[in-house]
Amino acid sequence: MNCGQVCVSPKRIFVEDEIANTFIEGLVKKTRDLVIGNGLDEGTDIGPMVSMEQREKLKLQVEDALRKGAMIECGGKIPLSLKYGFYYEPTVLTGVTPEMSVMNEEVFGPVAAVSVLRTSMKPLLWRTGQYMVWERLSGLRTLILHAYVFATGVRDGMDK
C-alpha cells in the first residue's frame, strides 16, 4: 500500500471465495500493522498523501463505496493523531461493486478494494474470454489478459 506514489500499485484485489475470509483477515492484520507517519522516519510504512485535494478525493471515493454498500474492514479515516500533513489511514474495503468509484477510477491513496469472486465462475470467465465481467474497470482487463497470455505462454513453452 502507498499514498499514490506508485501508479502500478495494486488497489483492486480479486480473490476467490474459497480463500476470501483467510485472505481478508491476513490483509487486514498486515494493514493494521502499518505505521503511519513522516515518510523520512525509519519506522514509517505509510507517509502523507501529496495534497489536501488528493486526500479529499480519496475520502470521497471511500464515502461513495460505503454509500453503495461496501464495508470498511480497517482504516477509512484521517488520523487525528497526526496534526500536520495529508494523512489517510491505510484502508481495506470489502463488498465493492463495479459502480463504486474505487473500482472504476484511479485510487491514489492507501486504499485496497477487495472483491470476492465465486470459484464456480472461474472456468466460465476464462472459457468465454470474459476476463472480468466488469467492463468499466480501467486497465484491469488488459492487465489480466497480459497475465493470462504470459502464464499460458510459459506453460506452453514448457510442454514443447
- Mean per-residue pLDDT of the chain: 78
Residues facing 111 on adjacent strands: 91
pLDDT score, position 13: 85
138 and 92 in a single domain? The answer is no
**What are the residues whose beta carbons fall under 8 Å from the beta carbon of 122, sequence distance 6 or more?**
16
- Find the domain containing 144 and state its range: 118-160
In this predicted model, which residue has the larger pLDDT, 140 or 84? 84
| pLDDT, tens digit, 9 for 90 and up, residues 10-66 | 778 888 888 889 999 999 999 999 999 988 899 999 999 999 999 999 999 999 999
62 and 122 in a single domain? The answer is no
19 and 87 in a single domain? The answer is yes
d(CA 23, CA 17): 10
| pLDDT, tens digit, 9 for 90 and up, residues 76-129 | 999 999 989 999 999 999 999 888 999 888 888 999 999 887 765 554 444 444
98 and 129 in a single domain? The answer is no
- Nearest-Å Rg of the Cα atoms of the chain is 17
78 and 89 in a single domain? The answer is yes
The domain that holds 20 is classified in CATH as 3.40.309.10
pLDDT score, position 119: 64
pLDDT score, position 112: 92
How many structural domains comprise the chain? 2
127 and 98 in a single domain? The answer is no
102 and 140 in a single domain? The answer is no
pLDDT score, position 142: 42
The pTM assigned to this predicted structure is: 0.74
d(CA 127, CA 98): 22
Q: Give the torsion sign (CA, 12, 15, 21, 26).
A: negative
* Whether the Cβ atoms of residue 61 and residue 88 lie closer than 8 Å to each other: no
* Whether the Cβ atoms of residue 6 and residue 109 lie closer than 8 Å to each other: no
93 and 126 in a single domain? The answer is no
d(CA 3, CA 75): 13
